[in-house]
């Protein structure tokens, strides 16, 4: 056996087998794969990644901190509000002869809604003014297109009862239409600003008929009723001629009630026949309404207040607003009337069902459906 030649002293592959050089003539040559290192990101790309990660982190922190901040702010606002309210409850209330002012604002509806002229809310205002020994006369600040027949008649009855004890002057500021005029007819006098609209004597009912729409959609509605009039007013079919005639007769009865209320208003010179001639549903500007006997005088709220004081025989007086008017904007305001009203039990916070009910339309209405500025009237600055 022949000996292996020794490795050179400076051979880096010492102790390893050297591969023979490639033979290009013996066939195709395949280059072994070359291992490359992963590409390095540029400085700009790394900056974008870092900024994205930073924004994600900040967004997460902000999302976690926002509810906490809101809770803290709400607690602080509640603490400040309740502290001021508690301090005001300890102050001495102003006393002395007064003219009370209440609101008849928005659509007239049944129930106890605080967002409109509901029967419950109006009764509470009238009751408070009746029980106040300081209040000698009352001004009703009116701005309403009317509303339900029965709610209007109920409030009219309450105003008429109170008028027997204290003089009541209605101050129209914007609109006094239909049911609002019905209620105002129970007052001692009606005053209106010169740009107000007054009138709309009449009754209205609205029935929806979706039969053609359902037919187009291929929807067949089956109704099972125990009497021929049980589905009266159904939106799935039109009214029959007999049903329409019957409903008109009922509306005429309610119109007669309206006419009698307007004709019997204190100080009115109108007869029932004359009021019936005005029962076209039309509204008039205050001056024309006065010419037709629907308004006593043209004037502003201070004029109506002064007139109420004169009717009560007061030479000096103060103005007493209803102190528990509900308004989201005054819950944490200077007056705290809403919060105080809740604590005194003059009203409860409205439920979701009450809010939904207030949006529903009554089947019979003393209601004007023309243009109406339903903005909330505000007390005079004094």
pLDDT at 73: 72
Whether pLDDT at 87 is above 50: no
Whether pLDDT at 339 is above 50: no
Report the chain's mean pLDDT, rounded to a whole number.
Answer: 78
Within 8 A by CB and 6+ apart from 44, the residues are: none
pLDDT at 381: 39
User: Of these residues, 178, 196, 200, 337, which one is catalytic?
Assistant: 178
Is 230 designated active site? yes
- β-partners of residue 137 are 99
Q: Largest Cα–Cα distance of the chain, in whole Å?
A: 150
Whether pLDDT at 243 is above 50: yes
Q: Which stretches of 194-315 are assigned E, i.e. beta strand?
A: 197-199, 283-285, 297-298
Least confident of 246-260, 308-322, 326-340, 345-359: 326-340
Cα dist. 119→66, 156, 244, 248, 266 in Å?
Answer: 42, 10, 29, 26, 23
User: Of these residues, 127, 161, 165, 230, which one is catalytic?
Assistant: 230
pTM over the 0.75 mark: no
Mean pLDDT of all residues in 100-126: 88
**Nearest-angstrom CA–CA distance, 273 and 100:** 35
CATH number for the domain whose boundaries are 98-222+231-367 = 3.90.226.10
Within 8 A by CB and 6+ apart from 200, the residues are: 145, 146, 177, 178, 181, 281, 282, 283, 367, 368, 370
Q: Higher model confidence: residue 65 or residue 24?
A: 65
**HSE value, Cβ hemisphere, 13 Å, CA-based, for 115:** 11
142-164 burial, b at 16+ Cβ within 10 Å, e below that, comes to bbbbbbbbbbbbbbbebbbebee
Report strand pairing: 168-177 vs 197-199.
parallel
Is 127 designated active site? no
Structural contact between residues 268 and 262, judged by C-beta atoms closer than 8 angstroms: yes
Q: Higher model confidence: residue 378 or residue 317?
A: 317
Helix (H) or strand (E) holding 291: helix 286-291
């Amino acid at each position: 056996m022949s000996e292996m030649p020794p490795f050179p002293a400076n051979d880096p592959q010492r102790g390893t087998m050297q591969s023979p050089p490639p033979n290009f003539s013996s066939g195709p040559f395949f280059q072994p794969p070359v291992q490359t290192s992963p590409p390095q990101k540029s400085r700009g790309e790394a900056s974008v990644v870092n900024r994205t990660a930073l924004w994600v982190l900040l967004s997460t922190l902000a999302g976690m901190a926002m509810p906490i901040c809101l809770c803290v702010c709400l607690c602080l606002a509640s603490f400040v509000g309740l502290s001021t309210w508690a301090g005001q409850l300890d102050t001495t209330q102003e006393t002395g002869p007064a003219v009370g002012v209440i609101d008849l604002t928005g659509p007239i509806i049944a129930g106890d809604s605080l967002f409109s002229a509901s029967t419950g809310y109006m009764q509470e205002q009238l009751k408070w003014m009746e029980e106040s020994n300081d209040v000698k006369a009352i001004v009703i600040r009116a701005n309403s297109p009317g509303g339900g027949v029965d709610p209007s008649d109920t409030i009219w009855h309450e105003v008429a009862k109170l008028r027997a004890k204290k003089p009541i002057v209605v101050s129209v500021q914007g609109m006094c239409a239909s049911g609002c005029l019905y209620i105002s007819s129970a007052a001692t006098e009606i005053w209106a600003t010169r740009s107000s609209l007054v009138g709309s004597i009449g009754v209205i009912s609205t029935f929806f008929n979706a039969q053609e729409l359902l037919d187009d959609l291929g929807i067949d509605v089956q109704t099972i009723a125990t009497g021929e009039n049980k589905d009266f007013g159904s939106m799935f079919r039109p009214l029959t001629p007999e049903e329409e005639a019957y409903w008109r007769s009922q509306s005429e009865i309610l119109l007669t009630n309206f006419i009698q209320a307007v004709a019997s208003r204190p100080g009115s010179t109108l007869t029932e026949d004359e009021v019936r001639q005005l029962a076209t549903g039309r509204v008039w500007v205050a001056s024309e309404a006065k010419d037709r006997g629907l308004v006593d005088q043209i004037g502003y709220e201070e004029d109506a207040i002064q007139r109420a004081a004169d009717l009560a025989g007061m030479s000096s007086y103060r103005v007493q607003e209803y102190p528990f008017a509900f308004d989201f904007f005054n819950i944490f305001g200077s007056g705290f009337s809403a919060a105080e009203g809740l604590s005194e039990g003059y009203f409860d916070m409205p439920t979701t069902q009450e809010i939904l009910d207030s949006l529903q339309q009554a089947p019979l209405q003393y209601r004007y459906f023309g243009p109406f500025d339903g903005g909330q009237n505000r007390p005079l600055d004094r």
